[in-house]
Amino acid sequence: MFTKINRNHQNKKRNIFIYISVIFTIIFLLVILIFNPKVKLIGDEKIILNINSKYVDQGLKVDSLYDKAKAKIIINSDVNTKKEGIYYIDYIYNYKLFRYKIKRTVIVKDIEKPMIILNGGNDVYYCPNGKYKELGYKALDNVDGNITNLVKIDKKKDKIIYSCSDSSNNKTVVVRKLNKKDIDKPEITLNGLSTVFVPLNSNYNEEGVRAFDLCDKDLSNNIKITNNIDTSKIGTYEVIYTVKDKSNNKAVIKRNVKVMEPLEKNTIYLTFDDGPRSGTTDQILDILKEKNIKATFFVTGNGPDDLIKRIVLEGHSIGIHTSTHNYAYIYSSVDNYFEDLEQVYNRIYNLTGVQTNIIRFPGGSSNTISQKYSQGIMSILTSEVINRGYQYYDWNIESGDSSFARDADKIYNNIKNKLDHDKPNIILMHDTKTYTKDALGKIIDYGIAEGYTFKTITSNTMLMRQRVSN
């Protein structure tokens, strides 16, 4: 009996021990489950990467309730994006007594299609009376380079199919649509300048135009010309040139015709360059005011602002000469010339409100020094200034005050001997010279005594142009 009771007691103790062990095991497992970090890849386990591209590893994501700051991740990788192949990245995460290892697979291969570039675009038009001529194409691949020679062409009635595969069998197909239709306007080219100048009460001589069409060729005889010119009135008029091709594409171009005051015979136009300058320009203005004569000043970026204002306030004509008078700069390029010109234009406008369009080239339009800096630039500039709305004025009498005539008497005698009643007399002087100032009074007195009229150059004055030598 006692033995049986003892055995039951032992069985009971064993069961209690087993029960407690199970409880502790469950608790231990729960602790591990709750507090043990969860480690997983960020991104896909398997990545396909284009060759020669950049691989940016996204790493691991670790979730832990504590001790996260002490986590250590070791990454072992041999990924070479410049070489095709299969690569592996091993992520090792050590946490206390635990060690986790996760693997990612990176496949590097050429997955980029070649690029086919069509000259002229994917949608082209050609003449109804002609045949389409191949505009050309080019095929480029990120690995194989230029593979234009591998392009296959399949010609259809209204399209061309271009296809090409690279060495990795990546294939590209591009379609060019062919439209048998003329959509291009004819091109009209003016003979002569886009702006021409005609003296008041004279005849306008049409210089003509040429017209060419890609499909219909020469259309010069089909041009319709209309104008509203009235040479009996000063003003700006338009000549309109219109032409249509057989597909009814229309082109229009215009030419401006400026009817202007002619340069008058028996007239003296006093013009001064290079100023203003304190001590000379102001005294020249005093003389002109005293004798009630108006002149034309082609000014620079130098000198006092108040003299610029005085020129305009006292009724003289003001024009643009140059800001720097640096031949090496202004005649080295068209852009440099106009940058220099606009500086003086802005100076005049900001000081006086006058938007002058009359200019004089440094050295005149016939200067040859510009050849030293840019061959042929004067031929370009003399046309371009007119295209941009300016008018340039040279001279036909040089006072000599910037060269051989270094005293007032020489200047006076030189001008006196060149004056002519049968022509307009545009005199070049410089208001920066003291001897010019000293000669001016005698020149005016002589002109008045000989019956000459004095006038200024304005935007309505017919141009005085020398022969361009560069």
Domain hosting 102: range is 38-109
Q: Once rounded to an integer, what is the mean pLDDT over residues 222-248?
A: 96
Q: How high is the pLDDT of residue 129?
A: 87
pLDDT in tens, 252-292: 999 999 999 999 999 999 999 999 999 999 999 999 999 99
From the list 132, 128, 118, 58, the residue with the least C-alpha distance to 91 is: 58
SS (H, E, C) 120-181: CCCEEEECCCCCCCCCCEEEEECCCEECHHHCEEEECCCEEEEEEECCCCCEEEEEEEEEEC
pTM for this prediction: 0.70
Q: Flag whether 82 is in a domain.
A: yes
| Mean pLDDT value across residues 102-125 | 93
| 230, two tokens | 């009235």
Q: Over the stretch 341-390, which tens digit does the pLDDT of each residue have?
A: 999 999 999 999 999 999 999 999 999 999 999 999 999 999 999 999 99
Total of domains in the chain:
4
Residue 66 is predicted with a pLDDT of: 53
Q: Are strands 317-322 and 72-77 parallel, antiparallel or unpaired?
A: unpaired
- How far CA 334 is from CA of 54, 107, 190, 300, in Å, comes to 47, 58, 22, 18
For residues 192 and 307, membership in a common domain is answered with no
Both 99 and 121 in one domain: the answer is no
> What DSSP string runs through 397-439?
EE--TTTT--SHHHHHHHHHHH--TTSEEEEEEETT-HHHHHH
Nearest to 391 by CA among 329, 461, 301: 461
- Domain co-membership, 175 together with 51: no
Spatial CB neighbours of 30, under 8 Å, sequence gap ≥ 6: none
- 313-327 pLDDT, tens digit per residue, is 999 999 999 999 999
256 & 274 share domain: no
- CATH number for the domain that contains residue 285: 3.20.20.370
SS3 323: coil
DSSP-derived letter for residue 261 is B
Cβ proximity of 214 and 182 under 8 Å: yes
Tell me the two tokens of residue 286.
Answer: 């005093």
Query: Among 195, 215, 213, which Cα is nearest to 204's?
Result: 195
Co-location of 254 and 304 in the same domain: no
The answer on 272 and 256 residing in a single domain is no
Cβ–Cβ under 8 Å, residues 251 and 227 = no
Three-state secondary structure call for residue 343? helix
Does the pLDDT value for residue 208 go beyond 90? yes
Helices 334-352 and 305-313 pack at an angle, to 10 degrees, of 70
Report pLDDT for 9.
59
What amino acid is encoded at 291 in this protein?
K
Does 24 reside within a domain?
A: no
Instruction: Please state, in angstroms and rounded to a whole number, the distance separating the CA atoms of residues 157 and 141.
Output: 29
Residue 307, in any domain of the structure: yes
Q: Could you give the angle at the alpha carbon of 191 between the alpha carbons of 190 and 194, nearest 5°?
A: 55
Residue 2: band (very low, low, confident or very high) from pLDDT cuts 50, 70, 90: very low
Task: Output 131 or 18, whichever has higher pLDDT.
Answer: 131
Distance, in Å, from the CA atom of 411 to the CA atom of 429, rounded to the nearest integer, reads 9
Cβ-based burial of 424 (10 A; exposed 0-12, middle 13-18, buried ≥19): buried
pLDDT at 7: 61
**CB–CB of 201/263 below 8 Å?**
no
Same domain, 310 and 392: yes
Q: What is the CATH number of the domain that holds 59?
A: 2.60.40.10
Q: How far apart are CA 412 and CA 393, in angstroms?
A: 22
Of 226, 260, 294, the residue at which a domain comes to its end is 260
149 contacts: CB under 8 Å, gap ≥ 6: none
Q: Look at residues 260, 283, 298 and tell me which one is the last residue of a structural domain.
A: 260
158 in the same domain as 196: no
Mean pLDDT score of the chain, rounded to an integer?
Answer: 91
Radius of gyration of the chain (CA): 45
**Residue 6 confidence (pLDDT):** 58
What number of residues does the chain have?
Answer: 470
Predicted confidence band of residue 58 (pLDDT cuts 50, 70, 90): confident
Domain boundary residue, one of 61, 79, 109: 109
Indicate if 238 and 145 belong to the same structural domain: no
Query: 272 with 225, same domain?
Result: no
Are 67 and 126 members of one domain? Answer: no
Determine what percent of the chain is predicted with pLDDT higher than 90: 77
Residue 157, in any domain of the structure? yes
Q: What is the pLDDT of residue 30?
A: 58
Rounded CA separation 437/435 (Å) = 5
- CA–CA gap between residue 68 and residue 61 (Å, rounded): 11
Do the domain assignments include residue 459? no
Mean pLDDT, residues 117-143: 94
The residue type at 244: K
Question: Quick check: is 27 in a domain?
Answer: no
Find the helix or strand (DSSP H, E) in which 62 lies.
strand 60-63
Containing H/E element for 467?
A: none
Residue 26 within a domain: no
Q: Can you list the alpha helix ranges (DSSP code H) found in 278-406?
A: 281-291, 305-313, 327-330, 334-352, 377-387
Instruction: Report which listed range, 2-11, 48-57, 355-364, is most confident.
Output: 355-364
Question: Which residues fall within 8 angstroms of residue 350, CB to CB, at 6 or more apart?
Answer: none
Whether residues 318 and 424 fall in one domain:
yes
The CA distance from 141 to 310, in Å, is: 70
- Domain containing 135 — which CATH number? 2.60.40
Domain assignment present for 448:
yes
